[in-house]
C-alpha cells in the first residue's frame, strides 16, 4: 500500500510539473487538446475523435463564436495523451500524433507510428484587417507544407481536365459549371476541410498550399483515414452521412428545356412505354407557371399556368399510373409580381441583385435566414408538393445566377454577413431548407434533389449535383470525368451531367439529331451516364428523346437502348452500392487511386474509374474511336466485360471500342448481380437474379433490398444477403439473410454464372452453371 501511494504521488508530481511547464509556455491543457497564443493569434486544438482534429485560430484577444453551416458532429469523448518533446508540445490519440511549436504556432501532424502527414506552417497563418461593408473582419490566409511529390485531390468540380490538384490555383467562387469547397485529400490518407464559405482562393506551389478568404477565424479540420475511403468516411462523420435515394432514382431520366404543356411530357412518357424503352423519371423544366412574356415578372411563382397545365394533379397521377416519377424545377429567385417575392421583400429576405432571367427583376432569397427557408417551403409545398404529389425537385441556379454583376452586389447583407462572405454555401443551404422541410411534411417519401451546385455537407440532404450547362463537345465530355472524380472525393457521392451536353446549337445547321458526329457524341455521353449515380438525358437546342435519333434498328437508337438496358440490368449492383454509400460511407465513382494507391500511375489518372468496387469504366471521348487505351491498375487482375478475356493488372491494353460498347473491365474476385429486363425499376421483383462470378481472387458482395422509397430503412427495415467467393476452394457461400421488411422476398432462385477466363465469348455464358433455390438460409455452392 505504501509503495502504491508513493507511485501515485510521483505520478501526480510529474503531471503537475508537466502542467507547470506547459503553463510557463502559455499552453493551457484542455480535456481533448490545448489552447495557446503565438504570433498574435489565439489557437485552439481539439480532438473531435481519434481521427479528426479541429484547429481554430483567431486574432489575439478577439473572441468569436463560430457556428458551422457544414459540420454536424460534436466532439466525442476521446482519450488524448499530453507530452513534451524538447520545446514542442505533443498530443496523441490512438490514430494521430500532433507536435505543436508554441513559439511559432507551427502544427505538425503524424500518424501514430510517426509518419509525417502534414505541416501547418510556422508563421503560416495571416489575419489582415478588412472592412466588410461596415463590419470589421479579416482576410484570412492559412498555409500548409506538403511533400514535393504528394498527390492531392478534391477542391471542387473544375473543368480543366486535370485530376491531381498539385501546382494549381483556383478562385473558389461557386458558379454555373464551377463548384468548389475549401478541401483537399492527400494520397497519404488524410484530408483537410477549411470551414469557410466565402469567395476564396486556393493556391498550391512548391513553397506551400494555401487557402485565403474572408472571415473572423481560420477554422479547419484535419481528418486521418489511412486511405481515401477512410478520409471520405471521416468527412461524412464530420459533415453528415448521405441518405439512401429511392430505387427509382437509379433508373433513366428524360428531360429537355422544356416541355411546354402537361400533355407534352405525358406523351413523351407514353411513347417510351410504347417503344418498350426503360424510363423511370420525367422532369419538368421552367415556365410551367403563368407567363408574363414581356417582363417575366411572375418568374418562379411555384404555381401552374391554367392553359398549359389545366389539371396538374391529374397530370402527375397519370405519370404515376404509367409507373414513372416526376421531378419539377424550382428556382431561388422570384419575379417582382409573385406572392413569394412580396413577402420576402416585406421581411428584408431578398438579396437585391439581378438573377435569372435577364431583365426580369427577379431576385434571389436569403437562404441563410432560417425563417426564409421555411417561407420558401410554405409556398413550394402549398403550390406544388402537397398539391400535385411530385416525387422530387430540380433546383436550378443554386449558386445562384448573377446577372449584370456589380462589385457592390457582393457587399449586400445576408442573415449571416455580406454575400461574399457566405456565397459558396448558398446551394447547400437552399438544399437543406427543402430537404428538411419535406421530411417534416412527408417522411414516407425519400428526398430526391437534382441541384446545380454544391458544398461539403450537402450530401446530407439527398442531393445529386449536376455539372451545369456544359457545351455539347467532345472536349467537354472528356473534362466531365476528372471533374466528377474530384467532386466525389470531397465526400459528396451523387453527381451527374447532361447527357449529350446542354448547349447543342453548334449541331443545328449540320443535320441536328441526324448529324453522325452529334449522334456518336450523344451515345458516348450516354455510355458514360450509365456509370454515373444518376443517368439523365437533358439539353437545349436539340430534342434528346431516343426516337429523335432514328428508329429501332438504326445504330444510334440501338446503341442508346443497349446502354439504357445495361443500366437497368445493373440495378441490383447499383442499389447495393447505394447502400454501401449510405451505410458504410462508400463512393459510387471511385478514381483508381482509391483502390490502387500503391500503383503510382493511378495518382494522376482521372480519365477512368471504378463504378462501385468492381467495374472499371474507361469512357470513350473521341469521335470515330473504335479502339481505346485502357490502363488496368496493378494490384488486381481484370476481365473484359464484353468478351471475358482475362488480363493481368499493371499494363495498358488497347481494347475494342465499337460504337455501341463502352470499355468495361471487371475486377477479378467480383460478384455482380444482374437483374431482370424491365421497363421501370420496380416492375419485377428480384426473385430470379443472375449472379456473375469473376474468378482470380477472393471477393464478396452484399445484395441489399428494402421498401424502395421511404425511410423505414433507417429503422432497420431492410435485408442484406452476403455473397462470398473463395477462389482457392472455388466455392460460393450465400450467407443467412439478415434483416426483414414488409413484402420482402422469402424464397428465390439465383442463377450462378462464372466467367471463363480461358475462353473469349461474345458475352457471358447464356446458360448458368447452377441454379440455386434460396430461402434465406446459408448455402454453399461448389463450382
Contacts of 519 (CB under 8 A, 6+ apart): 513, 549, 550, 556
The alpha carbon dihedral of 734, 736, 740, 743 has a sign of: positive
For 180, 285, 373, 487, the CA distances from 378, given in Å and listed in that order, are 30, 21, 9, 32
SS (H, E, C) 288-339: CCCCCCCCCCCCCCCCCCCCCCCCHHHHHHHHHHCCCEEEEEECCEECCCCH
Radius of gyration of the chain (CA): 27
155-189 core/surface letters (b: 16 or more CB in 10 A; e: else): bbbbbebbbbbbeeebebbbbbbbbbbbbbbbbbb
Catalytic residue among 399, 595, 706, 709: 399
Which helix (H) or strand (E) segment holds residue 201: the answer is strand 200-204
- Count of other CB atoms within 10 angstroms of residue 8: 10
Reply yes or no on whether 660 is catalytic.
no
Catalytic residue among 396, 498, 599, 608: 396
Closest CA to 157 of 615, 515, 485, 563: 485
Catalytic residue among 175, 291, 469, 683: 469
Peptide bond between residue 400 and the one before it cis (omega within 30 degrees of 0): yes
Peptide bond between residue 180 and the one before it cis (omega within 30 degrees of 0): no
Inter-residue contact 198 to 215 (CB < 8 Å): yes
Reply yes or no on whether 399 is catalytic.
yes
Inter-residue contact 430 to 452 (CB < 8 Å): no
Torsion of CA 359, 360, 361, 365, to 10 degrees: -120
Reply yes or no on whether 443 is catalytic.
no
Strands 190-194 and 218-224: antiparallel
The Cα 230–Cα 232 span in angstroms is: 5
Inter-residue contact 193 to 238 (CB < 8 Å): yes
Tell me the catalytic residues.
396, 399, 469
Amino acid at each position: 500500500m505504501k509503495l502504491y501511494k508513493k507511485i501515485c504521488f510521483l505520478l501526480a508530481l510529474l503531471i503537475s510539473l508537466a502542467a507547470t511547464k506547459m503553463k510557463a509556455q502559455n499552453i493551457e491543457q484542455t480535456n481533448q487538446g490545448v489552447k495557446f497564443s503565438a504570433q498574435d493569434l489565439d489557437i485552439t486544438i481539439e480532438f473531435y475523435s481519434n481521427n479528426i482534429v479541429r484547429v481554430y485560430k483567431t486574432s489575439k484577444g478577439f473572441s468569436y463564436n463560430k457556428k458551422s453551416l457544414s459540420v454536424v458532429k460534436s466532439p466525442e469523448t476521446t482519450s488524448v495523451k499530453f507530452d513534451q518533446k524538447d520545446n514542442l508540445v505533443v498530443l496523441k490519440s490512438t490514430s494521430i500524433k500532433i507536435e505543436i511549436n508554441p513559439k511559432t504556432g507551427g502544427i505538425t501532424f503524424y500518424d501514430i507510428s510517426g509518419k509525417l502527414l502534414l505541416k501547418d506552417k510556422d508563421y503560416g497563418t495571416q489575419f489582415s484587417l478588412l472592412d466588410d461593408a461596415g463590419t470589421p473582419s479579416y482576410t484570412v490566409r492559412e498555409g500548409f507544407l506538403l511533400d514535393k511529390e504528394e498527390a492531392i485531390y478534391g477542391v471542387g468540380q473544375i473543368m480543366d481536365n486535370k485530376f491531381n490538384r498539385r501546382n494549381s490555383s483556383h478562385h473558389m467562387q461557386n458558379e454555373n459549371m464551377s463548384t468548389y469547397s475549401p478541401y483537399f485529400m492527400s494520397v497519404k490518407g488524410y484530408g483537410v476541410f477549411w470551414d469557410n464559405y466565402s469567395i476564396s482562393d486556393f493556391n498550391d506551389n512548391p513553397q506551400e498550399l494555401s487557402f485565403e478568404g474572408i472571415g473572423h477565424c481560420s477554422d479547419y479540420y484535419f481528418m486521418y483515414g489511412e486511405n481515401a475511403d477512410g478520409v471520405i468516411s471521416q468527412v461524412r462523420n464530420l459533415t453528415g452521412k448521405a441518405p439512401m435515394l429511392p430505387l427509382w432514382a437509379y433508373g433513366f431520366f428524360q428531360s429537355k428545356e422544356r416541355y411546354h404543356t402537361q400533355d407534352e411530357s405525358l406523351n413523351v412518357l407514353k411513347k417510351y412505354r410504347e417503344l418498350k424503352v426503360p424510363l423511370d423519371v420525367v422532369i419538368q423544366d421552367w415556365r410551367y407557371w403563368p407567363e408574363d412574356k414581356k417582363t417575366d415578372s411572375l418568374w418562379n411563382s411555384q404555381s401552374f399556368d391554367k392553359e398549359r397545365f389545366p389539371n396538374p394533379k391529374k397530370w402527375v397521377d397519370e405519370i404515376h399510373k404509367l409507373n414513372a416519377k416526376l421531378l419539377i424545377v424550382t428556382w431561388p429567385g422570384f419575379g417582382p409580381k409573385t406572392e413569394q417575392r412580396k413577402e420576402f421583400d416585406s421581411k428584408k429576405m431578398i438579396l437585391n441583385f439581378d438573377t435569372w432571367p435577364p431583365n426580369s427583376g427577379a431576385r434571389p432569397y436569403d437562404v441563410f435566414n432560417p425563417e426564409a427557408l421555411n417561407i420558401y417551403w410554405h409556398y413550394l409545398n402549398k403550390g406544388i408538393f402537397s398539391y400535385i404529389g411530385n416525387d422530387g425537385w430540380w433546383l436550378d441556379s443554386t449558386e445562384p445566377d448573377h446577372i449584370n454583376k456589380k462589385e457592390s452586389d457582393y457587399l449586400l447583407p445576408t442573415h449571416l454577413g455580406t454575400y461574399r462572405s457566405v456565397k459558396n454555401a448558398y446551394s447547400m443551404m437552399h438544399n437543406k431548407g427543402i430537404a428538411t422541410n419535406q421530411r417534416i411534411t412527408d417522411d414516407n417519401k425519400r428526398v430526391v434533389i437534382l441541384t446545380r451546385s454544391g458544398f461539403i455537407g450537402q450530401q446530407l440532404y439527398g442531393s445529386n449535383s449536376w455539372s451545369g450547362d456544359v457545351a455539347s463537345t467532345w472536349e467537354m465530355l472528356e473534362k466531365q470525368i476528372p471533374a466528377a472524380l474530384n467532386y466525389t472525393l470531397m465526400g459528396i457521392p451523387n453527381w451527374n451531367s447532361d447527357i449529350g451536353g446542354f448547349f447543342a446549337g453548334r449541331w443545328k445547321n449540320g443535320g441536328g439529331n441526324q448529324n453522325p458526329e452529334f449522334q456518336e457524341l450523344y451515345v458516348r455521353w450516354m455510355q458514360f451516364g450509365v456509370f454515373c449515380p444518376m443517368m439523365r438525358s437533358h439539353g437545349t437546342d436539340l430534342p434528346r428523346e431516343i426516337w429523335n435519333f432514328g428508329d429501332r434498328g438504326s445504330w444510334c437508337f440501338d446503341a442508346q437502348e443497349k446502354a439504357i438496358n445495361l443500366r437497368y440490368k445493373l440495378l441490383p449492383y447499383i442499389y447495393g452500392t447505394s447502400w454501401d454509400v449510405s451505410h458504410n460511407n462508400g463512393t459510387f465513382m471511385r478514381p483508381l487511386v482509391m483502390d490502387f494507391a500503391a500503383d503510382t500511375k493511378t495518382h494522376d489518372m482521372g480519365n477512368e474509374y471504378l463504378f462501385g468496387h468492381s467495374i472499371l469504366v474507361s469512357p470513350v471521348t473521341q469521335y470515330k474511336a473504335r479502339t481505346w487505351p485502357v490502363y488496368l491498375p496493378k494490384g488486381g487482375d481484370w476481365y473484359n466485360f464484353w468478351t471475358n478475356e482475362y488480363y493481368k493488372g499493371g499494363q495498358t491494353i488497347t481494347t475494342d471500342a465499337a460504337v455501341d460498347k463502352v470499355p468495361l473491365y471487371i475486377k477479378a474476385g467480383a460478384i455482380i448481380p444482374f437483374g431482370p429486363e424491365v421497363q421501370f425499376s420496380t416492375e419485377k421483383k428480384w426473385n430470379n437474379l443472375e449472379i456473375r462470378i469473376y474468378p482470380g481472387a477472393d471477393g464478396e458482395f452484399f445484395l441489399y433490398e428494402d421498401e424502395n422509397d421511404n425511410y423505414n430503412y433507417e429503422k432497420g427495415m431492410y435485408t442484406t444477403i452476403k455473397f462470398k467467393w473463395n477462389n482457392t476452394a472455388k466455392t460460393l457461400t450465400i450467407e443467412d439473410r439478415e434483416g426483414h421488411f414488409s413484402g420482402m422476398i422469402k424464397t428465390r432462385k439465383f442463377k450462378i454464372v462464372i466467367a471463363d477466363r480461358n475462353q473469349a465469348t461474345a458475352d457471358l455464358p447464356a446458360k448458368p452453371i447452377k441454379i440455386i433455390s434460396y430461402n434465406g438460409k446459408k448455402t454453399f455452392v461448389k463450382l
